[in-house]
């Protein structure tokens, strides 16, 4: 019986030792975690201690260990809050002002409608530095208009460029624009229609004076007609062109054939119209000759 008790006591001692070892191992694991954590905290504290080398002085500027004013150095290097920055800013403003000074004429508003069916007309109103123009003029239906403006010797000059296509169709373009000018102007002149062939780069039509304000009586001869009603066929029979009413042919007693000749105004191929102040044919359904 005594031998059995010693055996039991030995087994119990081994079990107790096993649990003690497990407990010690767990304690070592916990200690290792704390060591790693403390090491991380120490690294963070080192970083913070380096940041503490830069302190705030009484005047609010940032001072390093050697007493240098880091805040001012930074501002001076990139121009923030420094006199250099003001000079740069003024230079930029000066450049911008110079650019604005070079823009003597600016189109503030532009509206173009084609084939409105209205009658041709022109008006201009000069109000200080603003010039308002309303222009209804007949031109090619397929045209795409580009409008430019410039001032020269007290005259505001408007230029119409056709950047579209050419055709024989004619309709009224309703053009409205407001131009701001820096130089004083008392006259307005409108020129058109310039067209440059996009393939050959050759100028097909140049600028002609279309209208002006105020209109000089001495220059009214430049504008032959105002409306289509001012123009008539240039011949009694098979006309190929148009002239002013004052130049219409005398057809009394003239007998014409009833055939429809191609390239004439016969049979509704075309009609007389006032185009850019000149009497011309407005072709519609031309018969090939």
pLDDT of res. 102: 41
pLDDT digits 0-9 by tens, 245-286: 888 888 888 899 988 888 899 998 899 998 888 899 988 876
pTM score of the predicted model: 0.46
The Cα 84–Cα 52 span in angstroms is 31
**Is the distance from CB of 164 to CB of 122 less than 8 angstroms?**
no
pLDDT of res. 32: 63
pLDDT of res. 195: 93
The Cα 198–Cα 159 span in angstroms is 19
Strands (E), 102-144: 105-114, 121-127, 130-140
Taking the chain (289 residues) in runs of 10, the rounded mean pLDDT of each run is 50 72 76 57 51 46 47 37 36 35 74 86 90 92 93 93 89 93 91 91 90 68 77 92 88 88 89 88 75
The Cα 289–Cα 265 span in angstroms is 13
Angle at 208 between CA 204 and CA 214, to 5 degrees: 160
The Cα 186–Cα 240 span in angstroms is 41
The Cα 280–Cα 271 span in angstroms is 8
Domain boundaries, the chain: 24-49, 54-102, 106-222, 228-283
Nearest CA-CA partner of 147 in 160, 157, 134? 160
pLDDT of res. 79: 32
pLDDT of res. 252: 85
3-class DSSP state of 31: helix
pLDDT of res. 47: 52
pLDDT of res. 23: 79
The Cα 210–Cα 191 span in angstroms is 5
Place of tokens 């579209």: 164
Angle at 146 between CA 143 and CA 150, to 5 degrees: 145
pLDDT of res. 169: 86
Place of tokens 């580009």: 146
pLDDT digits 0-9 by tens, 188-216: 999 999 999 988 999 888 999 999 998 76
pLDDT of res. 190: 95
pLDDT of res. 216: 60
Nearest CA-CA partner of 181 in 215, 111, 132? 132
């Amino acid at each position: 019986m005594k031998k059995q008790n010693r055996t039991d006591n030995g087994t119990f001692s081994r079990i107790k030792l096993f649990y003690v070892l497990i407990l010690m191992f767990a304690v070592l694991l916990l200690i290792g975690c704390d060591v790693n954590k403390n090491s991380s905290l120490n690294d963070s504290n080192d970083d913070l201690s380096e940041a503490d080398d830069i302190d705030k002085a009484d005047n609010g500027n940032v001072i390093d260990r050697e007493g240098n004013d880091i805040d001012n150095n930074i501002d001076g290097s990139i121009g923030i809050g420094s006199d250099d920055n003001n000079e740069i800013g003024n230079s930029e403003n000066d450049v911008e002002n110079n650019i604005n000074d070079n823009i003597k004429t600016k189109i503030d508003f532009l509206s173009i409608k084609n084939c409105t069916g209205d009658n041709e007309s022109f008006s201009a109103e000069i109000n200080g530095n603003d010039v308002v123009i309303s222009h209804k003029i007949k031109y090619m239906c397929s045209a795409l208009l580009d409008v430019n403006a410039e001032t020269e010797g007290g005259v505001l000059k408007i230029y119409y460029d056709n950047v579209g296509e050419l055709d024989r169709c004619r309709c009224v373009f309703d053009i409205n624009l407001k131009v701001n000018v820096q130089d004083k102007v008392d006259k307005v002149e409108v020129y058109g229609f310039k067209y440059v062939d996009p393939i050959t780069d050759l100028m097909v039509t140049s600028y002609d004076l279309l209208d002006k304000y105020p209109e000089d009586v001495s220059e009214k001869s430049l504008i032959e007609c105002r409306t289509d009603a001012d123009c008539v066929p240039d011949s009694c029979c098979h006309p190929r062109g148009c002239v002013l009413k004052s130049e219409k042919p005398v057809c009394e007693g003239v007998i014409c054939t009833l055939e429809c000749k191609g390239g004439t105004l016969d049979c509704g191929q075309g009609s007389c119209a006032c185009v850019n102040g000149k009497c011309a044919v407005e072709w519609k359904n031309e018969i090939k000759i």
